[in-house]
Structure 1
């Protein structure tokens, strides 16, 4: 048996491949080449591999190349960690700012109603405001108003905590990096609570003082020009009267923003409510001028008694609340029953005439004659003016006489004539013929019981068998007299009448001066009976001196 060389045996006991060593350690890979010329071993890898080289030689080369590529790639990736870290840090800071400036503090450069409240909490701002508000006072001046309202005067509470806590800060908080430079201005309309009755009373007192002697404003209107006989527009004029509600509104607004000074201007004054450029006013002017042209010709028995002119119509015209021209019917009625009636009526006026027996008489008073129906005439005039209708109007009368003859006898030929100076009465028929006469005794003038003069008519109280009761002039609780008469022909209500006086023995002459009646015309019984039968209700009675 041939013995192996030691070097060979050792080399062959260790595998040259990839297996494990007998000692448990993984053998280090190596390349071994033998020079054919020198027979010397070398551990350096060859520069060129021949196809006959072992497969493990290629595996080692590939693994080594991968390690080098991975190391190079790792160095490139590390460069991106720096900007990512910066961006992440900025994001955290930004979001933290959003949270803080939304919920905790007001951001830098924040103003609330013009005051710098940067980096303060809503609670801290509220405490500051509440401390200041306890000494709050609002001084109001202008328009002659002088008013100081203190917090204690009206039990003022601004509710700062609630108002500041409810500010919507989220939108601005998302923009806090920009707003830190641009500014974050917040306006809070604090809603104060206070005793409104106390505030209103204070304002009312100040306004009332300011309005003493103030000039009220005047609305634009239409004005009658007597020269042109037409209406024109008169412009509005401002005044100095202070509007209480306007001042109260200004004061409330000032208190809501904690203002300490309030200066009132023209907007706190009472202003005209109708302006000259109002189209309704132009329409009113045109309508009024149309109404002015509606003159009225008033006639009695086809004769002109009066003419209603433009000047009169203007005096009756008014503008209502809707700027519509109307006529004042009451004012027209006052004229128809007043001045016009006095110029047309004959009732109670003085009549001058000659009696059928030739006596010149002037008589005044009484209830017979012409009386204008003022109400009916006024309504007719008003209707015509409103419609713009110029026309002729026949005057309506509520009482009439036989003829319209102002200043003279307007009764018919049939009438009763009572001559007080002669103490004699006569009755004439439709033809003016005497059909009855008699002496009489009239009222006693010495005790103010004279028979009233005037033109009257027999009325509906005419009757038979009447009991006369005198007025209680001696104040004993009983009528001064009681008399029974058979024939009663009254002409002044149911108080003065022709009647029989059976208790008298004589009539006529001067008996009435010392023993006259209480105002009635006393007749002999037979004469009274005849007159009673002759008279009719409505027969005219003229009593004169």
Structure 2
């Protein structure tokens, strides 16, 4: 019995030894295994950017990380629907393998320097470099991939004329939903750069398509545009409220607002006046009211009508200058009253009548002169005119009296004389009215019988004085 108990104790010791040896062997084996894993691979319970790379060599981890990165997917979402998917590989994105391998080797070296029997889970962020194939990225993000949806182009903010409102309005810009490839490219790159900081490898990316990637209007509503609309409507109002009353003595011609409105050229870009239409209006007015340099028909004191072709007295509208002035007047928004801009003007007018009852009339055939002022006969007198020869005859026509002088010396080298007169009133080409003390009589046929002047109209001294004191420079004289 005692022998049997001793044998059992011996067996227990052997078993215990064997167990201890096995435990020690297992421990040594486990330690060797852990050492091997921690030195040959990246170690136990290790992840990179949340991707498990436990017990993987640098090369194996490099391959797994690269594949995970390239399989990472971007899903584009728009209006509640997924519209396009693309992987990093399709996008032309990859990790720089040299930098990745170097970062993994550094990580392996850091971890192999410490031995822990029981490892705890740890996630690492390592250095990386993204390589982008720009051509492939642009191709993967071209607008063609998003054309299943009906898309509208953006419209610029713009100013237009509203016929309904009869004024200019500012139309705001509209973005539309047309994909802008450059904006989309920037949006994707910015979004991915932020995502890579925390989710380089594991999570797919969802991107919302909105105004941030839509083509934007080139012109947006601005304070400057609002101010332009205000100015255009102000100018339009002025054009529509302006009238121009042209004064021709007691007669008036009115350019009314309806006529002005018909000249308006209203475009979205602005307002202008039809200059051709305005110029035609001025031309027609000039044809009606110009009195100089056109044949002049005149009702004489003798009761007959005569026409003088050499007409250098009267009014002439300067059409270019008048157009310039009119265009300025039209912007005023006022009721303008004025005379036209003249290049030539007379003493006084009443409509097309540029004499208005004040003129000197001379009949060469009758050798007689009449002076009228404000419609009343001031005086009439016989005269002696130029001798009826081509060299000495008095010119027929209408002119203004150039000026007055008292006294004045008349001289001529050609005819060899120098005579001083008391009253001198020239009208054209050296000819004029003056007193002639050397004439013993006036009127009749004296101008034909050797007493004719060299072209001047000789007057009795008292009549010359009366005329001189009645008229001023510019007074019209008509000789026929």
Normalised TM-score (structure 2): 0.46
**Greater RCO between the two (CA within 8 Å, min separation 6)?**
2
Larger radius of gyration: 1
